Each structure stands twice: as C-alpha cells, then as structure tokens.
Amino acid sequence: MSKKRTITAVVVVGLGLGLVTLSACGSSDSGSSDGDSKTVTLVSHDSFAYSKDVLSAFEKESGYTVKVLKDGDAGQAVNKAILTKDNPQGDVFFGVDNTLLSRALDNGLFQSYEAKGSDLILPEYRVDEDKHRVTPIDTGDICVNYDKAYFSEHKLTPPQSFDDLVKPEYKNLLVTENASTSSPGLGFLLGTAAKYGDDGWQDYWTKLKANGVKVVDGWEQAYNEEFSGSAGGKKAKADRPLVVSYASSPPAEVIYADPRPTTAPTGVATGTCFRQVEYAGLLSNAKNTKGGEALIDFLITKQFQEDMPLNMFVYPVVEGATVPAEFTKYGPQAKDPETMDPAKIADNRDQWVKSWTSLVLK
C-alpha cells in the first residue's frame, strides 16, 4: 500500500513571495517539482484557499504532494508567470481571469490539456475549446461595496450604479485598485468600458477622478486598509466607505466575524458589477505534467467546486455543484452584470490600461 504524499502548492500572494505547505501529513518526502514526481506545484494569486480535509482527500487518492506559491494580485501573478514561463515556478497556474486571459494565451503560458469532467462545465464559462489550454474553475462579480454604517450615520443613500459614483454626494468616498496591476481594478475599468463604450469611458473616468477617487496598488490594500466597512478597515480607522471589491465580499464579512452578525455590515452597488471568470492551466515547461493534470482534474470535481464558496467566496462553474445557503443569502450574484467578449478585451485591454494610466494616475 503506497504512503500518502504531501502536495505542496506554490501560490503567489500579496505583494511578496511566500511558500505555504498545504498539507504535511504522510511521508516526510517533500522535495520540489524539479525531478520529483511526488510533488505538484500550484502557482496562484493570494486568494487561493481550501478546506484541509478536501485537499487531503485528493492527496490520499492521487498520492501527490501539493505546494502553493502565492505572488500578489492576479495581475502581478500572471505577469510574473509569463516572465518565468521558460523555467516556471510550478506545474499549474490558477487565477488567470477573463480580463487577462488573452495575455497569458498569446504569450504561450499554457500547454493543452482537456480536463477530465470538463464536459460538466457550464457552457457560458467555456473558452478556448479547440486547444483546451485553460479550464474554467470559478466565477464571481467585481462590484463596488459600501459601508452600511457610514451611509446610515450620514443619512445618505448608498450609490447603486456607475452614474451614481460621479455625483457630488459621493466625492472622496471611493477607493479602487490600479488597473495595470490589479485584477479587480482592471475588471472595474472594463465594466466602465462596457457600460459607456469606447468613446465614453474616458469621460466617465475624468469625472470620477474629479470626484476624488483614490487609486491603490491592489485589493488587499484597498479593502483591508482603505475601506471603512471591512473588519481590517475598522481596525485601521479607514475613511473610504466605497471600495471596488466583489459581490461575495459581504458574506465573507459575516462568516469570518466572531460573533457572527445577523446581517452583513456591507452592501453591493449592483449597478457597478462586471462578471469575472477564473481559469487554471497546465504551465508550459511544467516539470510534473501528470501531477499537474491530476490537480486540474481535482479543481473541477464536485467536491472542490462545492468547497470554494466559503473559502474563496466565488461561485462554482460545474453543473450540479451546490452553493451553501449562507453564501447566497449575503452575496447573491448580480442579475445583470456588465460583460465583454474576450476578443474585445484582447484587442483593447492594453491600450485602455495605457490610456487609463495617463488619465487617472498622471
């Protein structure tokens, strides 16, 4: 009988580089993915999370050890993965989304692999079906969140739309992420481009800048340091009651609170949402392709898909996967989010980001 082997996943987190061992049970044979087929390495952004018993079940069944390397916001993680593609840090990359997908594919970041069980992925989330270089893993909505207490105390109605955010009553209240370094920041930019069109989004941002929008590097800083409605923001005495985050952030505020409140302390401006889909792919030049394939297969199993909502606060993409009641109660998906064809994102993203940088950061 073979021993259980630990899978170490390499995940890219925050603004630095950290190595986290996901499971340490079983054999003490750790090693790296270089020349060690027992270890499979997952590279991701800092929001990759899981239940230990779910990962342990995969480890026991597969016999692999998983490593996770976290390397910042999704935008930073993707850029770093591209720069290191000839000698990748791991075997699988998780967390490239529809806003950055074409950049990863155009730079040859992934090799083809059609995951087992991919026929159960809902059709609206499938992409690259001729080459199968990426596998959809989760979906969620990038939206402006608001601090309920602030708006109640100031007897001010929270904004609900993009149009509302440029009104005088919301001056100096919004913090967003840099569109050139942050996935939610880029998603928010694309949401405005989808809403106002090629000719109107720059005028919108001119108004938003005049209305005092604050721009920071990434989500962690925006949400946990600048946003007054988050648990972290309260501790830091943050003064921005509006933040670009996710529709699933309110349930996180409830579920992680001790004691748990009966209602979420934050709300979502549902007219500011942009639909995001995240993918995983087998990295080109991966040293453990078999382990990488097994790990991707695992990410779309019903077991992992149903584990995601209360760990990563995203929605599953596989048919039949259920979502916990407390997740949907506090963080329902937007009914009519802004969307954009991936081909249009590919054609315009870099120029839009360049124009946005000149307009907003200069």
State the average pLDDT over residues 153-163. 98
- Asked whether residue 213 falls in the same domain as residue 349, the answer is yes
Residue 193 forms part of a structural domain: yes
- Asked whether residue 351 falls in the same domain as residue 235, the answer is yes
Give the pLDDT confidence score for residue 46 in this predicted structure. 85
- Asked whether residue 261 falls in the same domain as residue 302, the answer is no
- Asked whether residue 215 falls in the same domain as residue 189, the answer is yes
Give the pLDDT confidence score for residue 16 in this predicted structure. 29
- Asked whether residue 153 falls in the same domain as residue 223, the answer is yes
- Asked whether residue 151 falls in the same domain as residue 103, the answer is no
Residue corresponding to tokens 């972290």: 232
Collapse the DSSP code of 345 into the 3-class scheme (helix H, G, I; strand E, B; otherwise coil) and give the result.
Answer: helix
- Asked whether residue 109 falls in the same domain as residue 190, the answer is no
- Asked whether residue 187 falls in the same domain as residue 211, the answer is yes
Residue 340 forms part of a structural domain: yes
State the average pLDDT over residues 251-259. 91
Bridge-partner residues for 173, per DSSP? Answer: none
Give the pLDDT confidence score for residue 298 in this predicted structure. 98
pLDDT of residue 87 exceeding 60, the answer is yes
Collapse the DSSP code of 173 into the 3-class scheme (helix H, G, I; strand E, B; otherwise coil) and give the result.
Answer: coil
Residue 3 forms part of a structural domain: no
The CATH number assigned to the domain holding 242 equals 3.40.190.10
pLDDT class of 36 with cuts at 50, 70, 90? low
State the average pLDDT over residues 13-30. 32
Give the pLDDT confidence score for residue 89 in this predicted structure. 95
Which segments of the chain are extended strands (E)? 8-12, 18-21, 39-44, 65-70, 92-97, 110-111, 135-147, 174-177, 214-216, 242-246, 266-283, 315-316
Query: In terms of residue numbers, what domain contains 223?
Result: 141-275+334-361
Give the pLDDT confidence score for residue 263 in this predicted structure. 92
Residue 2 forms part of a structural domain: no
- Asked whether residue 311 falls in the same domain as residue 357, the answer is no
When divided into structural domains, the chain yields a total of 2
Percent of the chain scored above 90 by pLDDT? Answer: 76
Bridge-partner residues for 278, per DSSP? Answer: 97, 138
pLDDT class of 88 with cuts at 50, 70, 90? very high
Give the pLDDT confidence score for residue 31 in this predicted structure. 37
Percent of the chain scored above 70 by pLDDT? Answer: 90
Give the pLDDT confidence score for residue 21 in this predicted structure. 32
pLDDT class of 201 with cuts at 50, 70, 90? very high
Give the pLDDT confidence score for residue 160 in this predicted structure. 97
- Asked whether residue 126 falls in the same domain as residue 241, the answer is no
Give the pLDDT confidence score for residue 217 in this predicted structure. 92
pLDDT class of 11 with cuts at 50, 70, 90? very low
Cis link prior to 309 (omega < 30° from 0)?
no
pLDDT of residue 334 exceeding 70, the answer is yes
- Asked whether residue 29 falls in the same domain as residue 78, the answer is yes
Give the pLDDT confidence score for residue 333 in this predicted structure. 83
Residue 321 forms part of a structural domain: no
pLDDT of residue 35 exceeding 50, the answer is no
Query: What's the CA gap between 257 and 68, in Å, rounded?
Result: 26
Residue 50 forms part of a structural domain: yes
